[in-house]
Amino acid sequence: MRAHIVQRGVVVDTIMVSNLDHPVGEGRQLIEANTGNIGWLYVDGQLIEPEVERPRDELAKAIDLERDRRISAGFDFNGTKYQSRLPDASRSGDWEVFSGKALEALIAVIGGAQPGNLRWSDPAEDFAWIAADNSRVAMDAQTVIALGKAASAHRSSHTFAGSDLKAMNPIPADYADDKWWP
């Protein structure tokens, strides 16, 4: 059977033995090796995997991935969820659409588009934004500007939260916990 040799609460070796009565030396204990590896802690009869400190640059990259995942998960605006995917190698993101339509809406407002006018973008049809659930939400130019601002705030708040995490010393191991993010 596989057995761990434990010395001062740490697994220091794993060996094959016929039983757990095998002598292993003064100050050492032999336990069954169903789980765990060398370096694991043995506390109150339980094997516990030690926390390994990850290099700071590796944690920073992991924080960036978590930030991007949260940004791309979308955001709520006026009670409706909208997607906000970042671009990747296979597709463009939603950010160009937000900024482009918000700019078009601003130009329409400057040109006189009034609140409630849904034909500010195309006089032949009402303007609608496609929500995350694929429903179409009618919007006037002023609402599109507010949607663009909400999208920007969503992205910025996550960018700054990620930056704050990367500036911490040490970087918290639970950086992906909701408590660190907006």
pLDDT at residue number 93: 87
pLDDT at residue number 24: 81
Q: Which residue has the tokens 């030396």?
A: 25
pLDDT at residue number 52: 64
10-residue averages of pLDDT along the chain (182 residues): 89 89 84 87 86 82 95 97 90 90 98 98 98 98 98 97 94 90 96
State how far the Cα of 131 lies from the Cα of 128, in Å rounded to an integer: 9
pLDDT at residue number 49: 82
Spell out the domain ranges in the chain: 2-48, 56-180
pLDDT at residue number 39: 84
- The half-sphere exposure of 25 on its side-chain side, counting CA atoms within 13 A, is 8
pLDDT at residue number 118: 98
Radius of gyration of the chain (CA): 28
Provide the residue type at 28 as one letter: R
State how far the Cα of 44 lies from the Cα of 47, in Å rounded to an integer: 9
pTM listed for this prediction: 0.70
Strand partners, 46: 43
